[in-house]
Amino acid sequence: MSDLSVEDQLAAMECPVDHSILDPAIQDAPWDFYAELHEKCPVFPIPQMGAVMVTKYEDVRFVLTNPELFSSGGRGGGGAKKGIQVEKAQRYQAILREKGWGHVETLQRTDPPIHTDYRRRLNRVFTPRRVKVMAEHIDALAAELFDAAKANGECDFVDAFALPLPGMIIAEQLGLDRSDYRRFKSWADSMLALSMRPLSDEELLETVETELEAQHHLAAEFEKRREEPTDDLISALVHSHGDDEEPLTMHELQNLMHQLVTGGFETTTNALNHGMWLLTRYPEVQDEVRADPALIPAFIEEVLRYEGPVQGLGRRTTQDVELSGVTIPKDTMVIVRYGAANRDDEAFENADEFNIHRPDVHQHVAFGLGPHFCVGAALARQELVSGFTAWLEGTSRIELTRPFDGPVHEPSLLLMPVKELPITFELA
């Protein structure tokens, strides 16, 4: 182990690539950057964050399947313990503790064996049966939203479809009126805000007030379901303990709900957005999938591989670990770059080619891998199948109304939020 700080050790790492994932222009289209990293610097140091970014497919798999070396708890080792944003996070938590429920670490922020216990409960909630039962309803909602969007022959896909479909589904599951999904969206945005961008003092106060509104709404719904179980997700969560297990506490319930809201909304929205954007960029794929809807699942998997909505998430090294010949110091934040792993030529032939017929399309890591593999993957896949079926069946042609003349995405280190997606279409 070195006497140098994590930041100094990372600054001393050799890496001939001089641009960075912290640049919004690179975040908007990181693909050439990933290719350069694969070739020249697969473990990319970001000393100012006390972090490295891991980009090769095999390395990403190794990180995700070795939680004893790469912990999900107490993220943000090294430099991330310092800085203005961390002071803000502490202030944010103090307000939540005073007026609501401060965050505790559950599920995604824990390692086995603690994670295993939470995960067992969540697996009881997200059963294949529940998704199957929901499928018909999701189909109907997708058809309804398509019908509402089709009147003018053009729309902003984000606003007309990609936001409301997952938004309404989760809102209903959380005991909200489905038409309230915009309020729900503001909750989800607030819950994510601090980890996505620097906030001013005023923004911090506004954001925490919105999260408190969400917490108090959810607390009342939890209590109602405790007394009278229903068939929604919030009720399933309250009653997710086995006979020999303690029920989840209010703090745990709040935190799990936080993860479901932040993990399940924007991700699915942007998978829908990228799928639609890809359909407009590859009209021949659009025609092929429209002619043979049995190809829709393969199309969706390739969308997730090619431009997955979660480009990266964090871990923390529990000891010095070597990856691709580089020693990553203990207590370094590791940004696991799912999006780069999925473009690794050593894992996928011609990885930068969009090809719905690739035989190994299911090998992508867009939903993660190992103990933290996405608990909502089946639900997300169902929403994507229902969504694209409605649009491909209902139209004979879809194209972009106008080319993008600037960045497609909001700046984000980890996700790929599409700003708008104006499309024009002919009805079938």
Residues that bind ligand HEM (CB under 6 A): 64, 72, 107-108, 119, 259-260, 263-264, 267-268, 271, 308-310, 313, 338, 366-368, 372, 374-376, 379-380
Q: 75 vs 183, which CB is nearer to ligand HEM?
A: 75
**HSE-up (13 A, CA, CB side) for residue 175:** 23
CA-closest candidate to residue 314, choices 116, 4, 114, 78? 78
- By beta-carbon distance, which residue lies closest to ligand HEM? 376
Q: 9 vs 110, which CB is nearer to ligand HEM?
A: 110
Q: Provide the minimum distance between the beta carbon of 368 and ligand HEM in the complex, in angstroms, as a whole number.
A: 3
Based on the number of CB atoms within 10 Å of its own CB, is 99 exposed (0-12), middle (13-18) or buried (19 or more)? middle
Q: Provide the minimum distance between the beta carbon of 107 and ligand HEM in the complex, in angstroms, as a whole number.
A: 5
Q: Provide the minimum distance between the beta carbon of 370 and ligand HEM in the complex, in angstroms, as a whole number.
A: 7
Compute the distance between CA of residue 383 and CA of residue 172 in angstroms, rounded to an integer.
14
Q: Which two tokens stand for residue 29?
A: 């289209």
- At 319, which amino acid appears? Q
Judge whether 376 and 316 are in contact, CB under 8 Å.
Answer: no
Compute the distance between CA of residue 304 and CA of residue 274 in angstroms, rounded to an integer.
9
Q: Provide the minimum distance between the beta carbon of 289 and ligand HEM in the complex, in angstroms, as a whole number.
A: 18
Q: 88 vs 115, which CB is nearer to ligand HEM?
A: 115
Q: Provide the minimum distance between the beta carbon of 315 and ligand HEM in the complex, in angstroms, as a whole number.
A: 8
Q: Provide the minimum distance between the beta carbon of 126 and ligand HEM in the complex, in angstroms, as a whole number.
A: 7
Q: 45 vs 339, which CB is nearer to ligand HEM?
A: 339
Q: Provide the minimum distance between the beta carbon of 171 and ligand HEM in the complex, in angstroms, as a whole number.
A: 12
Q: 158 vs 199, which CB is nearer to ligand HEM?
A: 158
Q: 108 vs 317, which CB is nearer to ligand HEM?
A: 108
Q: Provide the minimum distance between the beta carbon of 235 and ligand HEM in the complex, in angstroms, as a whole number.
A: 15
Burial 67-82 (b: 16+ CB within 10 A, else e): bebbbbeebbbbbbee
CA distances from 403 to 88, 144, 281, 408, 422 (A): 39, 28, 10, 10, 9
Burial 256-269 (b: 16+ CB within 10 A, else e): bbbbbbbbbbbbbb
Q: 64 vs 340, which CB is nearer to ligand HEM?
A: 64
Compute the distance between CA of residue 317 and CA of residue 6 in angstroms, rounded to an integer.
11
Gyration radius of the chain's alpha carbons: 22
DSSP conformational letter for 334: E
Q: 64 vs 155, which CB is nearer to ligand HEM?
A: 64
3-state secondary structure of 303: helix
